[in-house]
C-alpha cells in the first residue's frame, strides 16, 4: 500500500447554519477523496485533533488508516469514521448486526459512548499511531499496545488501569474456557454411560 500524500486534520467544530451547506459539501469531498484512496488499497494518515482516545492516541498524533470490510470488525478495533460534521477515531465496544450493521463506539478517555455509528460512515481501521517521530503498530493485543506506549511516552494511571483490566479480563476468559472444557468432557462421559446402559439392556 502506498502512503497518502497529505496529512489531514479532523475533529472539526460545529458550524453555523449559514455555513452548513458549504461545510457539508467539503466533508463529502474529503470523504470521497479518502474512500478513493482506500478503495485502491492505499492507506491514509490523519492528524488527531481531540483527546477522546488518550492515552492510546493523543491530540496531535498521526494515525494510519487502512481499508477494512466492516463485517470483519470486532469489539476492540479502532475505526476512523464520520459523525455528523466531525471525523474521529474511536474504539468499537459493541457490534449491532442489523441491516448493514451498526457499531457502538467510545473513546478510551470517555465515560459515555458516542451515538451509534452506521457501517457506511466508517472509512477505515486504524492500525498504527505516530508520535514524536516514532511509530507503534496497533495490530496487537490492547495490553501489549498500552505497554509500548507506556514505555515510549511515559506512563499514566489510566493506561496502567486499562492494562490491569485487560489482564483480568484475559484471566477470567481463560477460567470460563476451562469450565466449558470440563462441561464438554462431562457431557461426553454421561453420553457414553447412557449408551453403555442401553447396550447392556438390549443385550439381555
Dist CA 136 CA 159 (whole Å): 15
Q: How confident is the model at residue 80 (pLDDT cuts 50, 70, 90)?
A: very high
47-51, 57-61, 144-148: segment of lowest average pLDDT: 144-148
Residue 170: all three cell numbers together = 484475559
Q: How confident is the model at residue 133 (pLDDT cuts 50, 70, 90)?
A: confident
Q: How confident is the model at residue 105 (pLDDT cuts 50, 70, 90)?
A: very high
Place of cell 486534520: 9
Average pLDDT of the residues in 1-7: 42
Q: How confident is the model at residue 1 (pLDDT cuts 50, 70, 90)?
A: very low
Q: How confident is the model at residue 61 (pLDDT cuts 50, 70, 90)?
A: very high
Tell me the per-residue pLDDT of 156-173, one tens digit each, with 9 for 90 and over: 555 556 556 666 666 666
Dist CA 196 CA 181 (whole Å): 23
* Winning range, highest mean pLDDT, from 99-113, 118-132, 151-165: 118-132
Nearest to 124 by CA among 77, 165, 168: 77
4-8, 21-25, 109-113, 146-150: segment of lowest average pLDDT: 4-8
pTM above threshold 0.85: no
Q: Give the per-residue pLDDT at 29.
A: 84
Q: How confident is the model at residue 28 (pLDDT cuts 50, 70, 90)?
A: confident
With b meaning 16 or more CB within 10 Å and e meaning fewer, what string describes 27-41?
beeeeeebeebbeee
Amino acid at each position: 500500500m502506498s502512503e497518502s500524500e497529505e496529512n489531514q486534520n479532523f475533529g472539526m467544530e460545529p458550524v453555523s447554519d449559514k455555513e452548513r451547506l458549504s461545510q457539508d459539501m467539503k466533508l463529502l469531498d474529503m470523504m470521497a477523496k479518502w474512500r478513493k484512496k482506500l478503495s485502491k488499497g492505499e492507506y491514509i494518515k490523519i492528524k488527531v485533533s481531540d483527546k477522546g482516545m488518550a492515552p492510546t492516541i493523543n491530540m496531535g498524533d498521526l494515525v494510519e488508516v487502512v481499508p477494512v470490510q466492516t463485517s470483519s470488525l470486532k469489539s476492540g478495533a479502532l475505526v476512523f469514521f464520520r459523525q455528523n460534521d466531525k471525523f474521529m477515531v474511536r474504539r468499537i465496544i459493541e457490534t449491532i448486526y442489523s441491516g448493514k450493521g451498526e457499531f457502538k463506539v467510545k473513546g478510551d478517555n470517555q465515560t459515555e459512548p458516542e451515538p451509534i455509528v452506521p457501517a457506511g460512515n466508517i472509512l477505515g481501521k486504524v492500525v498504527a499511531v505516530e508520535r514524536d517521530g516514532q511509530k507503534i503498530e496497533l495490530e496487537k493485543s490492547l495490553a501489549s499496545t498500552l505497554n509500548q506506549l507506556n514505555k515510549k511516552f511515559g506512563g499514566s494511571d489510566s493506561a496502567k488501569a486499562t492494562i490491569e483490566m485487560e489482564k483480568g479480563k484475559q484471566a477470567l476468559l481463560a477460567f470460563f474456557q476451562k469450565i466449558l472444557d470440563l462441561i464438554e468432557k462431562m457431557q461426553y462421559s454421561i453420553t457414553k454411560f447412557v449408551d453403555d446402559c442401553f447396550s447392556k439392556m438390549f443385550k439381555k
